Amino acid sequence: MEEYPRYELGPSRPPSEAHSLLLRLTRSCPWNRCEFCTTNKGKKFSLRTVAEIKKDIETVKIIQEKITALSWRTGWGGNTKEAAARVYENPPNDSFRVVALWLYFGGRTVFLQDANSIILRTPDLVEVLKFLKQTLPSIDRITSYGSSKVTAHKSLEELKEIHAAGLSRLHIGIESGHDEVLKYVLKGATAEEHIRAGQKAVAAGISLSEYVMPGLGGRKWSQEHARETARVLNEINPDFIRLRSLVLREDLPLYGKYKSGEFELLTDDEVVMEIAEFLKELKVDSNLLSDHIENLLPEVEGKLPEDKEKMLNIINRYLSLPPEERLIYRLGRRTGHYNGLSDLHHPVKRSRIEKLLQHIEGRSEDVEEIIFNLKQGYLV
């Protein structure tokens, strides 16, 4: 019986890296205390050795060669895409599935797992990046998560060296630019550290994607959260700003503060208003993206500053709807029927949501509780 090679994979990656090769450099998160995140809770952080990582890269190469060989054996004449599609549909293990998907979409991008791979010693990270590009020469983009604290701790010269070795982009979750919010949710970084890290990454030539969490300040700090987060981003001017609205799952430490009444959760409409305030304060040349199901209005995205008015108009269009229309839209969005505000008047989709709402009301169930519970099922 043939033994199929496999290599170590981590649990997560950004949605924008869905088609990237996954390569694990670290396990879990070195901070792992944020009260809005459970991705790595209960998992011990560790650095993988350069030797371990290089062995995994060599394993990826072997899997790639096996898929290429399959394309010749099956008469596709080296058409790796067709062979990758067949392997992806019935992979012998997860490693083959990841490599097949990567090859199907061109074999050009890599995401370094887990939560903070830039924490590796700079000489080690540089060695890994160079070996990765030498072994898999089709790669033209390598990205990683990184925390503001760790990134700020690296010197500009180190970041330039890391970029020159192949790191193209950093995904950094600032979540908020308001120090009170950052302290309250145990983010482990200050607004000043966010600014220093972001400015260093940009100066080093690394493409920067900053993540913001609307709603994280609750009702108490909503305005400060919006304005201070915009202020921090104005100082950085990253390439990308990504919205990740707070979804308060029951397994989050922050959920306990919500249940006790200490943390007041914003309504969907209040989060939308907070995003409008945030947008108004932004003075950047960035691409704003709303690329996650957690966001109520996915159309609120575009290039700043030129698309700011368009994004604010979408928000105003939603907030101008009668309450019953906003409820229908929210239920449609949270059940996955609506992909955006334009679906509100789609006859088939609307009919389904109206029937669902009638069913809920007919059973005297709390529609707000149902919407809250629907959000519990979102993947982070």
What is 276-308 written as a DSSP string?
A: HHHHHH-----EEE--STT-S-TT--EETTTTH
Q: Do 129 and 33 fall into the same domain? A: yes
Averaged pLDDT, 323-348: 96
145 within some domain: yes
How much of the chain, in percent, has pLDDT values that exceed 90? Answer: 85
Q: Distance of alpha carbon 227 from its chain centroid, rounded?
A: 22
Q: Taking 70 as the threshold, does the pLDDT of residue 288 lie above it? A: yes
Kindly state the helix (H) or strand (E) to which residue 245 belongs, with its residue range: none
Averaged pLDDT, 325-329: 97
Averaged pLDDT, 283-296: 95
8 within some domain: no
List the one residue out of 26, 25, 29 whose CA is nearest residue 39: 29
CA 240-246-249 angle, 5° bins: 135
Q: Do 349 and 256 fall into the same domain? A: no
Report pLDDT for 30. 86
Averaged pLDDT, 37-51: 86
Q: Taking 70 as the threshold, does the pLDDT of residue 50 lie above it? A: yes
Identity of the amino acid at 49:
T
Count of domains observed in the chain? 2
Averaged pLDDT, 202-222: 98
Report pLDDT for 78. 73
Q: Do 211 and 327 fall into the same domain? A: no
Q: Do 38 and 93 fall into the same domain? A: yes
Contact 285, 236 (CB under 8 A): no
145 Rama class: left (phi>0) / alpha (psi -120 to 50) / beta: beta
7 within some domain: no
Q: Do 112 and 37 fall into the same domain? A: yes
Q: Do 111 and 259 fall into the same domain? A: yes
d(CA 110, CA 107): 8
Where residue 343 falls among pLDDT bands split at 50, 70, 90? Answer: very high
Identity of the amino acid at 256:
G
Report pLDDT for 379. 53
296, 321, 346 — which closes off a domain? 321
User: Whole-model pTM?
Assistant: 0.93
Report pLDDT for 295. 96
Report pLDDT for 35. 93
d(CA 224, CA 197): 21
Q: Do 99 and 199 fall into the same domain? A: yes
Averaged pLDDT, 368-376: 89
300, 321, 342 — which closes off a domain? 321
Determine phi and psi for 171, rounding to 5 degrees: -100, 115
Residue-range definition of the domain harbouring residue 233: 15-321
Q: Do 102 and 218 fall into the same domain? A: yes
Exposed e or buried b per residue across 176-214, where buried means at least 16 C-beta atoms within 10 angstroms of its C-beta: bbbbebbebbebbbbbebbbbbbbbbbebebbbbbbbbb
Q: State yes or no: cis peptide before 343, omega within 30 of 0.
A: no
DSSP helix/strand/coil, 44: coil
CA 204-17-21 angle, 5° bins: 95
Q: Taking 80 as the threshold, does the pLDDT of residue 378 lie above it? A: no
Contact 10, 53 (CB under 8 A): no
List the one residue out of 106, 123, 74 whose CA is nearest residue 66: 74
Q: Do 48 and 186 fall into the same domain? A: yes
Q: Taking 60 as the threshold, does the pLDDT of residue 58 lie above it? A: yes
Q: Do 271 and 226 fall into the same domain? A: yes
List the one residue out of 229, 244, 149, 247 whose CA is nearest residue 181: 229
Q: Do 158 and 251 fall into the same domain? A: yes
156 within some domain: yes
d(CA 79, CA 154): 43
304, 321, 338 — which closes off a domain? 321
170 within some domain: yes
92 within some domain: yes
Question: pLDDT per residue over 139-196, tens digit each?
Answer: 999 999 999 999 999 999 999 999 999 999 999 999 999 999 999 999 999 999 999 9
List the one residue out of 225, 325, 318 whose CA is nearest residue 272: 318
10 within some domain: no
CATH of the domain at 307: 3.20.20.70
Q: Do 380 and 287 fall into the same domain? A: no
